[in-house]
Each structure stands twice: as structure tokens, then as C-alpha cells.
């Protein structure tokens, strides 16, 4: 995921969705769901919603999808200290630059950036 997030989602988002639709391993499903959530895109969010609603999927993986949905909602409504005036596109550009450095600080900064992106709304 750390290698994919600095790139444009068009390179991998559809492939991740397709893989999720056929993947049978619960651990792999959870990894794909996490990747889709971290794209902070409408397409990724929709794929998670579809998975969570699919009764043919394992209960464990569906529960994980619901956990992501709940966390996404909390991020979208969490109070922010200092609202970001940056656009969604600018925040996505910041994300790509952020993952250009490999550090614990980058991961911490990513958490805050994800909340800002969720406040802007998935696009």
C-alpha cells in the first residue's frame, strides 16, 4: 500500500476492486478493503459498501468492511482544529508527496491528511 498511495489511483483502483470481487482469502480481502479505504475515493468507498452488503462473503470480512465504513464516517465528521482550505485535489497531491518519504512521521501525517480528505468528501 505504501508503494501504491504515492501514485494516481487510476493505476490500481480498478484492479484492486476486481481482485476483491474474486478473492476468497479473508486476510487478502481485509488488505484490499484497507487499500480501497485509503484511496479516499467514491469508487473505493462504493466497492467497500458493495462488499459489506454481499451476504455471500465471510462474516469476518464483512464485519471488517463495516468497521471501515464506520471509521470513514467518523473521520468525515471528526472535528478538525483549523479547517483545511486546500481542495481535495491539492490534498491528494500532498498525499503523493507525503509518501515520497519513508518514515514514522509520514504515517502519522497520513492519518491527519486522511481526515482532511474525508472532510472534503471522496471524489
CB 35 within 8 A of CB 67: no
pLDDT, greater one: 53 or 106:
53
Question: CA-to-CA distance for 122 and 98, rounded, in angstroms?
Answer: 19
Compute the mean pLDDT over every residue in the chain, rounded to the nearest whole number.
87
Quickly state the pLDDT bin for 113 (edges 50, 70, 90): confident
pTM (two decimals): 0.80
What is the per-residue pLDDT for 51?
Answer: 98
CA distance 82 to 97: 21
* Nearest partner of 38 among 66, 5, 80, judged by Cα: 5
Neighbours of 114 (CB within 10 A): 18
Residue-wise pLDDT for 1-48, tens only, equals: 777 877 888 899 999 999 999 999 999 999 999 999 988 899 999 999
pLDDT of residue 123: 67
Q: Does 83 have pLDDT greater than 70? A: no
Joined grid coordinates for residue 10: 487510476
What was the pLDDT predicted at 82?
A: 64
Amino acid at each position: 500500500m505504501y508503494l501504491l498511495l504515492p501514485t494516481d489511483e487510476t493505476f490500481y483502483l480498478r484492479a484492486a476492486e476486481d481482485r476483491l470481487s474474486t478473492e476468497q482469502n479473508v486476510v487478502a480481502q481485509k488488505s484490499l478493503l484497507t487499500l480501497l479505504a485509503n484511496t479516499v475515493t467514491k469508487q473505493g468507498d462504493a466497492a467497500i459498501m458493495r462488499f459489506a452488503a454481499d451476504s455471500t462473503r465471510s462474516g469476518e470480512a464483512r464485519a471488517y468492511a463495516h468497521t471501515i465504513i464506520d471509521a470513514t464516517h467518523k473521520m468525515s465528521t471528526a472535528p478538525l482544529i483549523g479547517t483545511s482550505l486546500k481542495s481535495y485535489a491539492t490534498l491528494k497531491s500532498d498525499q503523493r508527496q507525503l509518501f515520497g518519504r519513508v518514515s514514522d512521521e509520514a504515517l502519522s501525517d497520513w492519518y491527519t491528511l486522511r481526515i482532511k480528505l474525508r472532510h472534503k468528501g471522496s471524489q
